Amino acid sequence: MGARILIVEDESLIRWSLRQKLEGLDAHVTEVADGAAALEALEDGVFDLVMLDYRLPDMTGLDILGKIRETDKDIVVIMMTAYSTIESAVDAMKLGAYDYITKPFQMDQLLRTVNTALETTKLRREVRELRRHIAHEYGIDSIVGQDETMVQLYDTIRRVAASGASTIFLRGESGTGKDLVARVIHYQSQRAPRPFMNVTCTALSETLLESELFGHERGAFTDAKSQKKGLFELADGGTVFLDEVGDMPPGLQAKLLRFLEDRTFRRVGGTSEISVDVRIIGATNRNIEQAIHEGKFRSDLLFRLDVVSIYLPPLRDRGEDVKLLTQHFVTRFAKDFRKPVTRIDEEAYDKLRRYSWPGNVRELRNVIERAVLLLKGDTIGPDDLVVGRPGGEGNNHIVLPNEGLDLHELENDLLRQALARTGNNQTQAAKLLNLSRDALRYRLEKMGML
């Protein structure tokens, strides 16, 4: 379908000329001769572009432009006039006119402007639709649960998102959904149109993490061949999510503390103070108080981070939410994998209820995803669910299947599970496998996983 263009012009010859040219571009053109007719057309129809004369018999183009901006900020408006002045051009631009052209037109130039303006309308609407989709995807309903602890959590999230709180601290075990909650807080707040930036504080070395957060100037270190803006600068007006902030290196903790005090910083190697307006959401699965006692985390940094604290309960404390989440994931993965899975039997539910879910919602999601993917029928039974260790929860050995197994593949799978359960935290993954961190890295390198 061609572009929908409204021409508002009191001179019939100009309207005719524009219509001929624009219909040649496969546009659907509506033409009116005065402001009242323009407002009626705008009320009755949807347009991609409005070509608006500055002087009309009953009102000015600026009057109409103001009303357009009250109802649809995505419509691109090109002002047209034979009486161009700097003041009128400035007034039009202040009200959001895309361009300002004078009569008589150079038709080739006008058509180039029209084509560019239509592309702008298309991009604006795509961005609006994307924002609407993201706002829905990260609405409060994206957090599944009906347990009383979750109902209270929803209320807290709503109030925090709507507040002016600039620093929020999420606590909870690995897999409880801290990343999702951080995104919901951002996209349900007034900061939603601005960026959401996130970084896992254990994923980078101290030097790289500092550069990632604060940016660097050219020549600040060996590989700094050009200036780089950090996440705090790029997210100005939005949110920065610091996942696993409890494991941040001590040197960076001091720099983060200074930033939190006044929201100013210097790029690495820089001398200028940069001021930004960002909401910081920190998250940790560690016992922070214990880390402070052990000298691994600064107490003054916790004081600055813990302005608004939100606790995410583990799945084992959420009652029947295991069943609710299971139904949610079965429906989701049946659709994703195009599988005819319609139900899960009660024995399977009982098996899921009895398990303690050390990996929380993330682990349940992985269990259901695997079950749906490999299922041959339409009903998930207890034998389709692989939870905990193959020998059962609490056993410290693996039972060798009668058909045997691939030891290399088993090691590879266990490494992946440990990393997934700990959010790629190598130190914690090593603990799950009773290995040192160096031994874990050796095996990851051997398997080509680093």
Where does the pLDDT of residue 194 fall: very low under 50, low under 70, confident under 90, or very high at 90 and above? very high
Find the mean pLDDT for residues 210-219: 91
Q: Confirm if 231 and 213 have CB atoms less than 8 A apart.
A: yes
Give yes or no: residues 160 and 291 share one domain. Answer: yes
Count of Cβ atoms closer than 10 Å to residue 406 Cβ? 9
Find the mean pLDDT for residues 402-420: 79
**Nearest-5° Cα angle at 68, 62 to 73:** 120
pLDDT on residue 299: 95
In order of 26, 152, 200, 252, 289, the CA distances from 245 in angstroms are 55, 25, 8, 10, 13
Give yes or no: residues 151 and 267 share one domain. Answer: yes
CATH number at residue 389: 1.10.8.60
pLDDT on residue 87: 66
pLDDT on residue 391: 34
pLDDT on residue 86: 59
pLDDT on residue 254: 95
**Is the Cα torsion angle 94, 95, 100, 103 positive or negative in sign?**
negative
Count of Cβ atoms closer than 10 Å to residue 70 Cβ? 8
Where does the pLDDT of residue 88 fall: very low under 50, low under 70, confident under 90, or very high at 90 and above? low
**The two three-digit tokens of residue 81, written as one number:** 């006039």
The number of domains in the chain is 4
pLDDT on residue 314: 94
The residues near 364 (Cβ < 8 Å, ≥ 6 apart) are: 315, 322, 325, 326, 329, 352, 357
Integer Cα distance of 45 and 5 in angstroms: 10
Cα atoms found within 13 Å of the Cα of residue 177, Cβ hemisphere only:
25
pLDDT on residue 368: 94
Count of Cβ atoms closer than 10 Å to residue 173 Cβ? 19
Give yes or no: residues 146 and 281 share one domain. Answer: yes
pLDDT on residue 395: 39
Q: How far is CA 99 from the centre of its chain?
A: 33
Which range among 68-72, 378-382, 430-434 has the greatest average pLDDT?
378-382
Find the mean pLDDT for residues 165-170: 96
Find the mean pLDDT for residues 235-255: 95
The residues near 385 (Cβ < 8 Å, ≥ 6 apart) are: 348, 351, 352, 367, 371
Give yes or no: residues 113 and 189 share one domain. Answer: no
**Is the Cα torsion angle 349, 352, 353, 359 positive or negative in sign?**
negative
pLDDT on residue 399: 55
Give yes or no: residues 90 and 189 share one domain. Answer: no
CATH number at residue 116: 3.40.50.2300
CATH number at residue 274: 3.40.50.300
What is the dihedral angle through the alpha carbons of 196, 199, 201, 202, rounded to the nearest 10 degrees? 150
Give yes or no: residues 277 and 187 share one domain. Answer: yes
More confident site: 193 or 223: 193
pLDDT over threshold 50, residue 303: yes
Q: Of 313, 334, 357, which residue is a domain's last?
A: 313
Q: Confirm if 55 and 105 have CB atoms less than 8 A apart.
A: no
Give yes or no: residues 169 and 296 share one domain. Answer: yes
Give yes or no: residues 308 and 319 share one domain. Answer: no
pLDDT on residue 130: 84
Q: Of 353, 370, 397, which residue is a domain's last?
A: 397
**The two three-digit tokens of residue 407, written as one number:** 């030891």
In order of 334, 336, 347, 352, 383, the CA distances from 379 in angstroms are 11, 17, 11, 15, 11
Integer Cα distance of 27 and 29 in angstroms: 6
Give yes or no: residues 249 and 351 share one domain. Answer: no
Integer Cα distance of 210 and 226 in angstroms: 16
Give yes or no: residues 450 and 370 share one domain. Answer: no
**Nearest-5° Cα angle at 293, 437 to 261:** 100
Give yes or no: residues 198 and 279 share one domain. Answer: yes
pLDDT in tens, 350-407: 999 999 899 999 999 999 999 998 888 899 999 999 987 443 333 345 556 656 777 7
Q: Which helix (H) or strand (E) holds 186?
A: helix 178-187
pLDDT over threshold 50, residue 147: yes
- Do you find a cis peptide bond into 340, omega within 30 degrees of 0? no
Find the mean pLDDT for residues 104-110: 83
Integer Cα distance of 364 and 324 in angstroms: 11
Q: Confirm if 160 and 203 have CB atoms less than 8 A apart.
A: no
pLDDT on residue 392: 35
Integer Cα distance of 100 and 90 in angstroms: 9
State the Rg of the chain over Cα: 29
pLDDT in tens, 9-48: 999 998 898 999 888 888 899 999 999 999 999 888 889 9
Q: How far is CA 249 from the centre of its chain?
A: 26
pLDDT on residue 396: 42
Instruction: Please give the residue range of the domain that contains residue 434.
Output: 400-450
Count of Cβ atoms closer than 10 Å to residue 77 Cβ? 25
Helix then strand count (H, E) for the chain reads 18, 16
pLDDT on residue 347: 93
Which range among 78-87, 220-229, 293-302, 407-416 has the greatest average pLDDT?
293-302
Q: Of 71, 103, 134, which residue is a domain's last?
A: 134
Where does the pLDDT of residue 163 fall: very low under 50, low under 70, confident under 90, or very high at 90 and above? very high
Give yes or no: residues 296 and 443 share one domain. Answer: no
Going by C-alpha positions, the residue among 195, 196, 197, 302 that lies closest to residue 248 is 302
